[in-house]
Structure 1
Amino acid sequence: MLLRSSTSFKVLLFLLFVSFTFPLNLVKIRHGIHKDKVRVVFDLSKETKYRIFVLKRPYRIVIDLLGKDVRIKRVRLPKGISYKLGKHPWGRRVVLKPEKQYSVRAFTLKNPDRLVVDLIKEKRIRVKPRKFTVVVDAGHGGKDPGAIGWRGIKEKWVNFQIAKYLAYYLKRDGRFRVIMTRKGDYFVPLEKRAQIAIRNRAHLFVSIHADAAPKRRPYARGTQIFALSYRGAKQKKSKLLSDLSYAGQIIRGGDPRNRQLRLIISDLAFRVTLEDSVDFAKILAREIKRTMRRSVRFKGIKRANFAVLKTPGIPSVLIEAGFITNPYEARKLRSRHFQKKFAYAIYRAILKYFNLPER
């Protein structure tokens, strides 16, 4: 009994020694709302190096606290500013996602140590309303017909019809810049479809397809949504780091030869692609079920390594509208009423994703 007590005491002394020798830098984040700004204060246990920068598309304010001993203990931010925390070998990352844009100013204070980030409200000026760029991708086309379904129905035709109606609803709305990867029956390589989204700095990429089942399962049915898998994101992230030509397509306003910049951009870009794509997929799933009701059997959201989903920093989804090999679903997929209704469900999901009221 005495031996056990002695051992426990030694362990306690060791833990106390470690905690005093290598103290953690515990960080508490609080805020204050002022007439002309929102002040975000990082209360630090000790002096801490930091870096701060702003991303425009999507709009993010990134604060990196450097040091392996940094720990975020508490975060209190006002309504209208959400956040995400990241853990890295060099320290902790705090990504602020405000609903509106600010000018950013940062400085440190001593006794006690604090990092102050002022989000300064910009003066209201009359500007042209912002348009969101949406790339609508009709899968397959031209020499690539896609799947051949019941009574010879071709996937490329179904995809294009739904894509065309979706583009119509978005253009009629007036708050969107719409780009179609193909405007007719011709072939567009998969990589080029993703490049169209990247080149046009798209806010959203929607790829429309129809599914097919093997002959042994002719009655397979259902609608499903795909977002990029972690494996696919990792592959594209590696390319951004190793291929300067590709990095130059992604990085605007900076030198793509700067490896540190490529590391930061690649990390943030694919975090957006992975996380925001799933956020949109969830909204899309709700709208399809709400609008289409019993017209479709929804099979859920899945992850995949599709080439068209590898769009750094752009939320992207691929929708399989239904099985053209199933006679019941094929009849619907060739119906204009179904095509319009399905496209309208996607349009409503896009409105909700961008927090826009329906017109």
Structure 2
Amino acid sequence: MFQRSLIGFSVFLLLVIFAFGEIRESTYGIYDGKIRIVFSLTEGRDFKVFTLNDPQRIVVDVYGEYRVGRLQLPVDVKYKVGKHPWGTRIVLYYNRNFSLKYFYLRDPYRIVLDIYRESNELYAEILQIIGEDGRKVTEPKVVVVEENKPPQVKNERKVAEEKVKEDPIASLIEKARFQPVIYEDKVIVVDAGHGGKDPGAIGYGGLREKWVNLAIAKKVAQFLQEDERFKVILTRDGDYFIPLHKRAEIALKNKADLFISIHSDAAPHKNPRAKGTQVFALSYQRAAEKKEQILSSRRYAKLVLGDAADIRSGVVKKVLADLAIDVTLTESVYFARLLSNELKNVIGEDVYFKGINRAGFAVLKTPGIPSVLVETGFITNPSEANKLKDPEFQRKVAWSIYRAIVRYFYGEDFGQKLVKYE
């Protein structure tokens, strides 16, 4: 009888254990000015992220979760795990000025933290930029955690507040200096290829690629703006030229969570009847070249890995280089698959879909930001050119891109979270 009870209790205990999910692991990538930490969960959980000071730390509370697997974190990020009646608390200790951005991904379930390393030099640069262009500055939507500061910091803050009275712009700078801020907005950078003196491909009937790309990009932006859960940034909103490296810089400076470059394909001489829509992610060859640059160039290693570049161990540095590139590569391919599925579902009957490919396009080399390039159709093909200049077809392509973005962040039930297609 006792044995049966013991067996029954053991089975019950196992059921209870497996009823709970698990924070399976964490992975990370180190980039220029940013550390990305990804916590992988076996199932969906409610969570909360906030910061504390003295010492500087980031707190991740995962409700209803009591099991934690292996956590891999950067060398300068220490951690503790605490168990509570409501779930698990992970405390990350990071003793530097930083701003924090986080979001949640599904299928599989992941909590993503982006820790942006800040320095006084950065704020001086921001102030200089603001002073040069004279544009109005609006503060981002932030949640600020107030903490008791030590006397020295309080004195510094008093001096800063006096400066603010003289210069309103300094309020933005000083606020960021003394308080870590948490950004919850999901930032999407939409890049309309070509522009200005660079028309891109000249298609059937004189249709210019730069016009088509911009029209679709603006429609994507419209869907995202109506959604209100995203901050959308267009690399260009008119017919002007932007160098390729500047497009990637826009994504990095705005702390983008996704970068999507919109183009139209062309084959005027080889095969004017060539057709099809396709999505590109960064090639393995280009990713391998990036890793080699990190390992062979101390300057480039410093740019991508930050302080971790000073580690002497070649083995450790190789692992860090792998992590830095692989996190971006994996997420880019994951989003490319979602986008390809939505393109097939929405415009599959209108165009031939050529699938996902790899390339070394400059705009795809954005460290730490999942990036894809979509060729919406062949502008040199008479049939597809007529579709590409049709506003309704452009809207369908934009709707596909928007659907893929929402699906990336909100998982399989994304259909309930879409704005209306009108």
TM-score per shorter chain, which class? 0.5 to 0.7
1:287 to 330, 342, 349: 342
The normalised TM-score by structure 1 is 0.66
In structure 2, what is the Cα distance between the partners aligned to 1:315 and 1:327? 33
2:395 to 332, 340, 343: 340
Q: Is residue 146–residue 155 contact of structure 1 (8 Å, CA) maintained in 2? A: yes
> How many Å apart are 1:57 and its aligned residue?
6.3
Q: Which moved more, 1:179-188 or 1:149-158?
A: 179-188
Cα 1:309–1:99 change in 2 (3 A) is farther
Counterpart residue number, 2:185? 131
Counterpart residue number, 1:309? 364
Matched, 1:358 2:395: no
1:201-256 Cα offsets, whole Å, 9 max, x none, are 211110000000132411111101111101111222333445566556545xx526
Matched, 1:255 2:307: yes
For 2:290, what is the secondary structure of its paired residue?
Answer: helix
* Bigger helix fraction: 2
The amino acid that maps onto 1:60 is V
Q: Is residue 28–residue 36 contact of structure 2 (8 Å, CA) maintained in 1? A: no
For 1:312, what is the secondary structure of its paired residue?
Answer: coil
In structure 2, what is the Cα distance between the partners aligned to 1:328 and 1:358? 30
> How many Å apart are 1:61 and its aligned residue?
4.7
Cα 1:300–1:53 change in 2 (3 A) is closer
Question: Superposed, which structure 2 residues align to 1:59-74 within 5 Å?
Answer: 59-61=37-39
> How many Å apart are 1:258 and its aligned residue?
2.2
Cα 1:288–1:242 change in 2 (3 A) is same
Aligned length: 279
> How many Å apart are 1:303 and its aligned residue?
0.7
In structure 2, what is the Cα distance between the partners aligned to 1:322 and 1:256? 43
1:196 to 250, 255, 269: 250
In structure 2, what is the Cα distance between the partners aligned to 1:52 and 1:331? 46
> How many Å apart are 1:163 and its aligned residue?
0.7
The amino acid that maps onto 2:370 is P
> How many Å apart are 1:122 and its aligned residue?
6.9
Cα 1:171–1:57 change in 2 (3 A) is farther
The amino acid that maps onto 1:170 is L
The amino acid that maps onto 1:239 is Q
Counterpart residue number, 2:205? 151
Q: Is residue 105–residue 118 contact of structure 1 (8 Å, CA) maintained in 2? A: no
In structure 1, what is the Cα distance between the partners aligned to 2:403 and 2:23? 36
> How many Å apart are 1:146 and its aligned residue?
0.6
Cα 1:354–1:197 change in 2 (3 A) is same
Counterpart residue number, 1:88? none
Q: Is residue 58–residue 203 contact of structure 1 (8 Å, CA) maintained in 2? A: no
Counterpart residue number, 1:19? none
Cα 1:175–1:59 change in 2 (3 A) is farther
In structure 1, what is the Cα distance between the partners aligned to 2:379 and 2:337? 24
In structure 1, what is the Cα distance between the partners aligned to 2:391 and 2:234? 20
Cα 1:52–1:340 change in 2 (3 A) is closer
Q: Is residue 130–residue 175 contact of structure 1 (8 Å, CA) maintained in 2? A: no
In structure 2, what is the Cα distance between the partners aligned to 1:329 and 1:168? 24
Cα 1:196–1:149 change in 2 (3 A) is same
In structure 2, what is the Cα distance between the partners aligned to 1:211 and 1:349? 21
> How many Å apart are 1:277 and its aligned residue?
1.2
Counterpart residue number, 1:237? 291
Counterpart residue number, 2:151? none
Q: Is residue 24–residue 39 contact of structure 2 (8 Å, CA) maintained in 1? A: no
1:234-287 Cα offsets, whole Å, 9 max, x none, are 222333445566556545xx5264246865543223112222111111111111
**Rg bigger for which structure?**
1
Share of identical aligned residues, percent?
Answer: 49
2:330 to 275, 278, 301: 275
> How many Å apart are 1:344 and its aligned residue?
0.8
Q: Which moved more, 1:317-326 or 1:254-263?
A: 254-263
Question: Superposed, which structure 2 residues align to 1:35-114 within 5 Å?
Answer: 58-61=36-39, 78-80=42-44
Question: Superposed, which structure 2 residues align to 1:114-125 within 5 Å?
Answer: 120-121=88-89
1:304-356 Cα offsets, whole Å, 9 max, x none, are 11111111221111100001101110011111111111101100011101115
Unmatched 5+ stretches in structure 2: 1-13, 46-59, 72-79, 92-141, 144-181
Q: Is residue 195–residue 239 contact of structure 2 (8 Å, CA) maintained in 1? A: yes
In structure 2, what is the Cα distance between the partners aligned to 1:204 and 1:52? 19
2:375 to 293, 311, 320: 320
